[in-house]
Amino acid sequence: MVASALSLKIGQRQIQSPALTPALQQALKLLQLSGLELDALVREALETNPLLVADAASTDLAPTIPSPVQRRSGAGYRLSPQAICLFGSAAQVTRQTPGGADMMAGGHADPDRLGVQDGGSLQDALLEDIAFTFDDPVERQIALDLSGLLDDSGYLAGDLEDVAEYRKVPAAHVEHVLARLQEAAPAGLFARDLKECLRLQLKDRGTLDEVMIRILDHLEILAEHDPVALAAAVGLDVDEVSLGLDKLRQLDPRPGTAFAGQTAPVIVPDIIVLPIGTHSSHNSEHVQAVGRWTVGLNLDLVPKLSLDCTGLDILRARARREEERAYLKTSSRDATWLIRAIEQRTATLLRIGVEIFRRQEGFLEGGPLALKPLTQKEIARVTEVHESTISRAVNRKFAATPQGLVPLKFLFSNSVRDLNGGRDHASKVVRQRLKALISAEAAPTPDEALTRQLRSEGYDVARRTVAKYRGMLRIPSSVVRKCPRAAGLAKGTGS
């Protein structure tokens, strides 16, 4: 048997590979920032770089859009004696994976409880829920305002009166939107206190009976650690109260901690879509026509900077030491890089926004159900930038449209083929059709029957696709939906 000869040798080979220069790294960093984060970065640069100046026309870089409703100090989740009595301590309520996912017994994340698709966040799931749950643009905007008030525990950390005043609607209207949000979102979110959080979860599980209502109404007695006193107050025996408390201990007093680190962003539009002819004519360089609409940048979020050449000449003439000349060189270079990076970010964001709405013009007219299939790869091809650049550009960016504020990410959707030879459908629309079918069912319908129904309507979906969409909608299987707890789950997701 002849062994193969092995040898080592040194050689040279010339290859080409992309290199991220400091300027390119800065441009990519700026592209993924939200408008408010960019504003903060520019303000810091103006304070630290003597050669960077804001143009006279924009000496105040703060957005002139009314400030979003703010969270109130002391609102939201508060560690209470009742929570300590039931759950030990708030810090030990929820065990988390490194990615922040809630853990079931045995150490496995429960996807049905999380209700968030792979690669998504709670905010992504909420934004899609909001877009399809609320047909009215005003109610959709109120729902977005409320989602921005969620604290890390998933509680509403703001005042409904503030939202009502900000949107100039009656407080009862905001209350109505909140009630719909509490049904559509994962159970327990958007609660205003511990009692409401537990009540929402019991309702979600189908176990909110008269006994549990009585216990919740007298929950403050638990602060005294006296089940006998609680039993006397609610008119039940101690055994019944003990069983009820066991049910409460199975709940999560802080449902938002399953999504730690994914707090709701402050929502200010980066792109504004208006009927043609309504954008300011002197801002034409930042506006483009798309059919009956114009797509433009929110100029309140576009910093206008320049290099102070006069100041640079004066400082150069005064510089005597080498470190002074090096400092001026570095400051001049950094200012130039930042100015160019902002210009590149502005041009890229406008180009991407125009191409998105060129393909989603139907959404502007007909709302979420008129969405068309659209991928980031397609936008990357027409704008001639890398797909990862599209991902950075649309992340945490919003557009003000005739349908209300929408995240740019929401306008992307995979394609589902039409069995009748028509245009393909957006997968988001198909998911909502599945949700409607389950909501209208007289008895739990298995995935096979749901698949047949969708296919009869022209959607080319397989049973495994239906199961996947159902999971993304946080709707359990038909077998689980037959039991009372699961019926509550389906109702809690709007199914």
Q: Do 200 and 317 belong together in one domain?
A: no
H helix runs in 149-305, sequence order:
160-167, 171-184, 194-205, 210-217, 227-234, 238-249
Calpha distance 474→16 (Å, rounded): 47
Q: Does 11 reside within a domain?
A: no
CB 361 within 8 A of CB 290: yes
pLDDT at residue 484 tops 70: no
Is 423 in the same domain as 276?
no
Closest CA to 301 of 266, 343, 269, 273: 269
Helix, strand, or coil (residue 457): coil
Question: Which of 411, 439, 459 is the endpoint of a domain?
Answer: 411
For residue 98, pLDDT over 70 is answered with no
Please compute the mean of the pLDDT values over residues 119-138 and round it to a whole number.
73
Rounded to an integer, the average pLDDT of 242-262 is 78
For the chain, what is the domain count?
A: 3
3-state helix, strand, coil in the chain (%, to 5): 55, 10, 35
According to the model, what pLDDT value does residue 277 have?
74
Residue 306 lies in a domain: yes
Whether residue 16 is contained in a domain is answered as no
Average pLDDT over residues 424-439: 91
Q: Name the band, by pLDDT with cuts 50, 70 and 90, for residue 111.
A: very low
Same-domain check for residues 123 and 236: yes
**Are the CB atoms for 173 and 162 separated by under 8 Å?**
no
Same domain, yes or no, for 391 and 436? no
In the chain, how many H helices and how many E strands?
22, 9
Mean pLDDT of 340-344: 91
| pLDDT above 50 (res 322) | yes
> What is the pLDDT of the chain when averaged over all its residues?
80
Q: Which of 135, 155, 179, 160 is nearest to 77 (CA)?
A: 155
| 343 and 450 assigned to the same domain | no
Lowest mean pLDDT among 201-215, 343-357, 446-460: 201-215
Question: Does the pLDDT at position 425 exceed 90?
Answer: yes
The range of the structural domain enclosing residue 450 comes to: 417-492
486: confidence class by pLDDT, cuts 50, 70, 90: very low
The residues near 68 (Cβ < 8 Å, ≥ 6 apart) are 145, 148, 166, 266, 267, 268
Query: What was the pLDDT predicted at 61?
Result: 39
pLDDT at res. 28: 80
Give the strand pairing for 425-426 and 305-307. unpaired
Radius of gyration, CA atoms only, the chain: 28
- 255 with 327, same domain: the answer is no
Burial of 314 (0-12, 13-18, 19+ CB in 10 A): exposed
**First CA to last CA distance, the chain:** 69
To the nearest 10°, report the CA torsion of 430, 432, 438, 439.
-160
Residue 158 lies in a domain: yes
Distance (Å, whole) CA 444 – CA 326 = 73
pLDDT at residue 106, as a whole number: 33
pLDDT at 137: 82
- Pick 74 or 170 by higher pLDDT: 170
Task: Give the pLDDT band (50/70/90) at residue 79.
Answer: low
Strands 52-54 and 305-307, sheet pairing: antiparallel
Identify the pLDDT of residue 487.
43
| Residue 473, H or E segment | none
pLDDT attached to residue 455: 95
Q: Are residues 275 and 387 in the same domain?
A: yes
Q: Which of 208, 228, 259 delimits the end of a domain?
A: 259
Residue 8 covered by a domain: no
Per the CB < 8 A criterion, the answer to whether 276 and 289 are in contact is yes
pLDDT at 200 (0 to 100)? 92
Q: What percent of the chain has pLDDT over 70?
A: 77
**pLDDT recorded at residue 20:** 62
Of 218, 234, 259, which closes a domain? 259
Identify the pLDDT of residue 420. 92
Average pLDDT over residues 237-247: 87
Identify the band that residue 91 occupies on the pLDDT scale cut at 50, 70 and 90. Answer: very low
Q: Is the pLDDT of residue 210 over 70?
A: yes
**What number is the average pLDDT over the span 416-433?**
93
pLDDT tens string 389-409 = 999 899 888 898 988 888 899
What band does 73 get if pLDDT is binned at 50, 70 and 90? low
In this predicted structure, the answer to whether residue 109 has a pLDDT above a threshold of 60 is no
Question: Sorting pLDDT into bands at 50, 70 and 90, what band is 263?
Answer: low
Same structural domain for residues 402 and 280? Answer: yes
Can you tell me the distance from the alpha carbon of 278 to that of 276, in angstroms, rounded to the nearest whole number? 6
- Please tell me whether residues 90 and 233 are part of one structural domain: yes
pLDDT band at 65 (very low <50, low <70, confident <90, very high): very low
- 303 token code pair: 């910093």
Task: Report yes or no on 49 lying in a domain.
Answer: no
Q: Are residues 437 and 341 in the same domain?
A: no
Whether 345 and 404 share a structural domain: yes
Q: Judge whether residue 489 has pLDDT over 70.
A: no
More confident residue, 128 or 327: 327
Strand partners, 404: 401
Query: Which range, of 242-251, 276-285, 327-336, averages the lowest pLDDT?
Result: 276-285
CB contact at 8 A, 368 and 409: no
pTM above 0.75, yes or no: no
- Closest to 412 in 3D by CA, of 428, 425, 396: 428
Residue 73 within a domain: no
Does residue 476 fall inside a structural domain? yes
On the question of pLDDT at 205 being above 50, the answer is yes
Mean pLDDT across the stretch 278-301? 80
At 299 the pLDDT is: 84
Please tell me the total number of residues recorded for the chain in this structure.
495
- What is the pLDDT confidence band of residue 452, given thresholds at 50, 70 and 90? very high
Same domain (yes/no): 300, 407: yes
Q: What pLDDT does 218 receive?
A: 85
- Of the pLDDT bands very low, low, confident and very high (cuts 50, 70, 90), residue 145 is confident
More reliable by pLDDT, 387 or 11: 387
CATH of the domain at 470: 1.10.10
